[in-house]
Amino acid sequence: MTRRLALVIVGVVITTLLLAGAGTLLLSAARARTTSVNEIREQAVQMAANIDEVLELDDGLSQAEAAKQLRNRLRVLAALRQMVEFDDIGVLVVGAQGEVQSGELPSSLSVDDIDLQRVVAGEAVADNRGKLAFAAAAAAGPGGRQYVVVVTRRIDAGLGPAFVLFVWASCATILLALGAAYLLGRRLTRPLREASLATQQIAAGHLSTRLAEPAASDHDELAELSRNINFMAASLERSRGLEQQFLLSVSHDLRTPLTSIRGYAEAIDDGNVDPKRAAGIIRSESRRLERLVADLLDLAKLQAKSFTFTMVPLDLAAAVHTSVAGAAGSNADVSFQPVTSGPIPVVADPDRVAQVLANLVENAGRYARSAVLVSARTDGPWAVVTVDDDGPGIAAHDLPHVFERLYVARHQPERKESSSGLGLAIVRELVVGMGGTVEAGAAPHGGARLAFRLPLAAPSPP
């Protein structure tokens, strides 16, 4: 990327220099052409105004002597071009009809280049042909002769030394651009190189890898990339820790009932235990295993979005009473109290609502000291169910993660949701699947509060 960035910057610099140089040359050439044409027109006019003094012949000369003197004067005029600001000069003797009678033009011009009719009419003509500027002006000479003075000058934009300086300056600019592009490329791509190395290390299993945390005031793309990589690494590291703890927890939960089942089976075989009592314990441990496996399957289905819901109208208040009655029969040491105020109609899956309530109520009964309060009410467009216990409560740092899968393994929480950490994760998936939300907090009189919301059923038309 550094190489590509350097090439782009140098390419932009070279293109800019070329455009600037070409534009300067064109503007200078146009300006030099206009200036040369205007100046040479003035010079032609001045020369024409004084031509009679230069070419005036002495009186009393014979025709041959007059011609000789005229030729000498023309030579003198030609020598003057060495001292004035034009390259060449010529004088034509023109008849009344505009025909050329004698004289010579500068070698680079022909009569066709000059509009003699306009010149004879008294107009100074100036133009250019390529890099040659020329001008012609008429003047009345001695003896009634008509003269046309033609002067030429090569157009020079005056960029000789300046062009050399421009070339050297361009080379220096390109070298500076190369250095700046290299340094800038290294500076800009350094976070990308560090990010690439960090992701390689994370992919190799080094999940503790972190990038330098950007300053709080940095919110550009590279800073956000660094933050996102750090967040990803932290999430992966935490997920791996949860997975390891989950495997340990599930292994323990599986091993305990299996050990009990095997022990009582061996005891029955040896005749050292009452078969009826042993059968009851084996049956209880088998149900414990069955529930654990069912939780695992339910969670897998929910997260794979392959779980189906049968949504029908139901009374959430009645479901709360049924769930509380079932929990009261299984735990005589805790008082379960339902609090409702009339029917609360919702559209949900009755079996899944019963499963949600059972998980929440049984979880509360597991940690309650003496009482569990289950209430159902309406709150705007929502039906709200809260389950409060008077147990030790949930640590503040664990509240945002109560409904996460494997919550039991996170930071050794003071309060364990269930032996496998799956019950509340299933609650969240079921409630969300029915269009609701879950939340956790502290109960008003101590202990924990777990709650969920479901949309109220639309009222029936009158």
> How far, in whole angstroms, is CA 306 from its chain's centroid?
36
Dihedral, CA of residue 437, residue 441, residue 444 and residue 447, to nearest 10: 120
Q: Quick one: average pLDDT of 173-195?
A: 80
Specify whether the CB–CB gap between 443 and 390 falls below 8 A: yes
Handedness of CA 338, 341, 342, 347 (dihedral sign): negative
| Domain at 312-455, CATH class | alpha beta
Specify whether the CB–CB gap between 17 and 173 falls below 8 A: yes
Q: Quick one: average pLDDT of 440-444?
A: 91
Decide whether 207-307 matches 312-455 in CATH topology: no
Specify whether the CB–CB gap between 151 and 126 falls below 8 A: no
Q: What is the pLDDT of residues 349-373, one digit of tens each?
A: 998 899 899 889 988 888 888 899 9
Q: In the prediction, which pLDDT does 455 show?
A: 94
CATH of 2-161, one of 1.10.10, 3.40.50, 3.30.450, 1.10.3470: 3.30.450
Q: What is the pLDDT of residues 222-272, one digit of tens each?
A: 888 888 999 999 888 877 776 776 676 677 667 777 888 888 888 888 888
Q: In the prediction, which pLDDT does 375 show?
A: 95
Q: Quick one: average pLDDT of 158-181?
A: 76
List the single range of 170-174, 387-391, 432-436 with lowest mean pLDDT.
Answer: 170-174
Q: What is the pLDDT of residues 45-90, one digit of tens each?
A: 766 666 655 555 555 556 676 666 666 666 655 555 544 556 777 7
Share of the chain above pLDDT 70, in %: 78
Q: Where are the domains of the chain?
A: 2-161, 207-307, 312-455
> Looking at per-residue confidence, does 132 or 442 come out higher?
442
Q: In the prediction, which pLDDT does 407 show?
A: 58
- The reply to whether CATH 1.10.287.130 applies to domain 207-307 is yes
Q: In the prediction, which pLDDT does 52 show?
A: 56
Q: In the prediction, which pLDDT does 401 show?
A: 81
pLDDT at 403 over 70: yes
Share of the chain above pLDDT 90, in %: 15
pLDDT at 411 over 50: no
